[in-house]
Amino acid sequence: MPKVLVVCYGNPLRGDDGVGWIVAEKLQQMSLPDFVAIQTHIQLTPELAADLSEADLVIFIDACDAEPVGVVSCKPIVPLPLSSSSFSHHLTPDLLLSHAQHLFGRAPKAFLISVNGSEFGYQDTVSPAVREAAGKVVEQVLRLLEEFASQSA
């Protein structure tokens, strides 16, 4: 059975950066297919490459510091070429896909869904525009899951 991994990341104690955690909570309250797994992380780490290598589709969800606040974007991502600086303390989704490919011989199809935010100070709530955008992210995830299911059938 195909496996989908939804990786929601960011710091829930840094305002809008916590949108991934809100999306994860909303998704966990839904009746998603058994082949969908949801993970939350403060940041991406090299250890996630193993999980990615076992998935057929990975959907990353994060906030970005951009205007206008609350805008949701979704883009496909592919592995980046590895270099000696690739094993650093700052991993991006495309670099993590590269690690999966390099270390495990397999990188899944992947998308990055980003929410524009502006409040990244020390606070445990997101701005109203980002909270509203979390619902749009859930809708986008459901669309990607529907497309994936129809292509896998």
Secondary structure letter of residue 147 according to DSSP: H
- Which pLDDT score, from 0 to 100, does residue 127 have? 96
CATH architecture for residues 4-152: 3-Layer(aba) Sandwich (3.40)
d(CA 140, CA 153): 20
Residues whose CB falls within 8 Å of the CB of residue 74, separated by 6 or more in sequence, listed in order: 111, 112, 113, 114, 140, 144
Enumerate the domain spans of the chain. 4-152
Report in angstroms the alpha-carbon separations of 123 from 53, 61, 126, 136.
34, 20, 8, 23
CB burial class (10 A; 0-12, 13-18, 19+) of residue 57?
buried
- pTM value > 0.85: yes
Residue 42 has pLDDT above 80, yes or no: yes
Handedness of CA 64, 65, 68, 69 (dihedral sign): positive
Residue 4 has pLDDT above 90, yes or no: yes
CB-CB neighbours of 88 under 10 Å: 10
Helices (H), the chain: 19-28, 48-53, 93-104, 128-152
- Which pLDDT score, from 0 to 100, does residue 81 have? 80
- Which pLDDT score, from 0 to 100, does residue 14 have? 97
> pLDDT digit string (tens) for 47-93?
999 999 999 999 999 999 999 999 999 999 999 886 545 455 578 99
Higher pLDDT, residue 114 or 1: 114
